[in-house]
């Protein structure tokens, strides 16, 4: 645009000079020497180099996207393993608490058994002393010393009854204590069995905890390795992207030189024509040139409106299912990757939603599906794509992404979950061989 303006200024000055007779007709004083004119072979070689580098950049971008997808999956596995480890630790705490309760109960039962055994031994000792001082007479257990000093037969009979009662009572106490001892021993045995079971559960829970924590660490290491791989791919892609930018810059420079040379040729031809016309008539006829190209501003303005609206959303979060003709909207659930990034809780655009908003500024209504958007206009070869065209990517013939071409190898897009609307270089890996022109 600037070079055309410079050429027009040079022609205007030349015509004015010729009109007033200050420049002789047919001279080339208003046109500088010719600029460099790169050959077609140089231009083709530059384009081939850029195309090759673009293929590498696209391949790395695809590999990076796959690595990031695997990273998301590994993150989910890490979270599952972390929860497994948490469960194992809780189970171990419960098992240890149950083991502690079982041990307390076993200790109490053992104490009760020891106390009962002590009471039984003391009672037996008393009975042994009683038996040693007694002997059997007609009835039950008796003692000579117990009858000594009786004043009459009646008192002797009362003492004999008392000895019988004492003997029966002592034997009953002995039986009761023995039963109690047996019950305590049985209870202690059951309690110890429960203690053994609790100990087994505690050991099992501890082994499960160790296994779960080891699995958690394995998952974390796998994710860290994947993250390192993704970072390496990112660095490789950035390096190749820099090479691509440099290659495209070289091509752009060669094309600019070719354009400057062609402009020089046009300027020289116009100078010669203007000088001849100035020599023949005093009034130059430039109205036709002034009106040339005046029929395009409407379309150009629509394209710029679309581009402007898309660029106005730079930095807006990606939200799957988000975006309409009025602007960003809340995303929706997809039951997978988008949900893992919380897209349903974000306000923003997905790739086709950004196109809907951009083209709505030019009065064009698009469906919220990149596959239908690929059918919404005229398909043109990528070699003929221009500012305002839509670019598409497919996988096995299925369209899965759309972006808006800005010119000079750049595009604006809403790339993927976890990212934001951005301007980036066109990725040629997986791109369809055509652009779609709506305006």
Task: List active site positions.
Answer: 351, 401, 413
Residue 227 CA from chain centroid, whole number: 11
Residue 316 DSSP code: P
Distance CA 240, CA 247 (A): 10
Sheet holding 378-381, edge to edge: 378-381, 431-437, 390-395, 398-407, 410-413, 422-425
Distance CA 389, CA 402 (A): 10
Q: Where are the extended beta strands (E) located within 303-355?
A: 329-330, 347-348
Distance CA 219, CA 77 (A): 7
Q: Which two tokens stand for residue 263?
A: 């402009």
What does the H/E/C string look like for 219-235?
HHHHHHHHHHHHHHHHH
Instruction: Please state the φ and ψ torsions of residue 398, each to the nearest 5 degrees.
Output: -95, 120
Instruction: Please state the φ and ψ torsions of residue 233, each to the nearest 5 degrees.
Output: -65, -40
What does the H/E/C string look like for 197-212?
HHHHHHHHHHHHHHHH
Q: Residue 40, Cβ neighbours under 10 Å: how many? A: 8
What is the radius of gyration, based on Cα positions, of the chain? 50
Q: Is the dihedral of CA 336, 338, 340, 344 positive or negative?
A: negative
Distance CA 143, CA 154 (A): 17
* Burial class of residue 69 (count of CB atoms within 10 Å of its CB; 0-12, 13-18, 19+): middle
* Burial class of residue 314 (count of CB atoms within 10 Å of its CB; 0-12, 13-18, 19+): exposed
Distance CA 350, CA 361 (A): 18
Distance CA 376, CA 397 (A): 17
Distances (CA, A) of 348 to 314, 324, 352, 358: 11, 10, 12, 13
Distance CA 260, CA 33 (A): 11
């Amino acid at each position: 645009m600037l070079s055309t303006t410079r050429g027009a200024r040079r022609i205007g000055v030349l015509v004015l000079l010729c009109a007033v007779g200050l420049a002789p007709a047919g001279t080339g004083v208003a046109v500088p020497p010719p600029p460099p004119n790169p050959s077609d072979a140089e231009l083709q070689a530059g384009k081939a180099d850029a195309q090759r580098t673009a293929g590498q950049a696209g391949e790395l971008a695809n590999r990076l996207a796959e690595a990031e997808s695997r990273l998301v999956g590994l993150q989910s596995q890490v979270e599952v393993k972390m929860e497994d480890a948490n469960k194992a630790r809780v189970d171990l705490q419960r098992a240890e608490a149950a083991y502690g309760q079982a041990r307390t109960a076993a200790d109490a039962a053992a104490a009760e058994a020891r106390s009962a055994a002590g009471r039984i031994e003391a009672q037996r000792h008393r009975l042994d002393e009683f038996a040693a001082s007694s002997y059997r007479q007609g009835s039950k257990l008796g003692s000579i010393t117990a009858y000594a000093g009786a004043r009459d037969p009646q008192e002797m009979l009362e003492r004999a009854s008392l000895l019988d009662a004492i003997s029966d009572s002592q034997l009953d106490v002995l039986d009761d204590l023995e039963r109690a001892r047996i019950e305590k021993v049985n209870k202690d045995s059951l309690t110890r069995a429960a203690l053994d079971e609790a100990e087994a559960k505690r050991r099992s829970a501890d082994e499960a905890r160790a296994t779960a924590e080891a699995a958690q660490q394995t998952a974390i290491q796998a994710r860290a390795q994947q993250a390192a791989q993704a970072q390496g791919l990112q660095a490789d892609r950035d390096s190749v992207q820099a090479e691509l930018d440099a290659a495209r810059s070289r091509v752009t420079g060669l094309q600019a030189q070719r354009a400057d040379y062609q402009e020089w040729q046009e300027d020289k031809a116009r100078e010669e024509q203007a000088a001849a016309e100035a020599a023949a008539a005093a009034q130059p006829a430039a109205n036709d040139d002034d009106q040339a190209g005046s029929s395009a501003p409407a379309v150009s303005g629509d394209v710029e409106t679309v581009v402007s609206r898309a660029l106005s959303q730079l930095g807006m979060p990606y939200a799957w299912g988000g975006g309409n003709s009025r602007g960003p909207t809340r995303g929706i659930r997809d039951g997978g990757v988008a949900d893992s990034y919380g897209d349903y809780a974000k306000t923003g655009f997905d790739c086709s939603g950004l196109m809907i908003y951009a083209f709505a500024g030019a009065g064009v209504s698009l469906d919220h599906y990149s596959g239908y958007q690929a059918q919404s206009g005229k398909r043109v070869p990528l070699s003929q794509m221009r500012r305002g065209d839509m670019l598409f990517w497919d996988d096995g013939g299925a369209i899965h992404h759309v972006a808006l071409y800005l010119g000079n190898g750049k595009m604006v897009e809403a790339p993927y979950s976890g990212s934001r609307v951005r301007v980036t270089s066109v990725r040629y890996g997986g791109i369809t061989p055509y652009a779609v022109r709506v305006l």
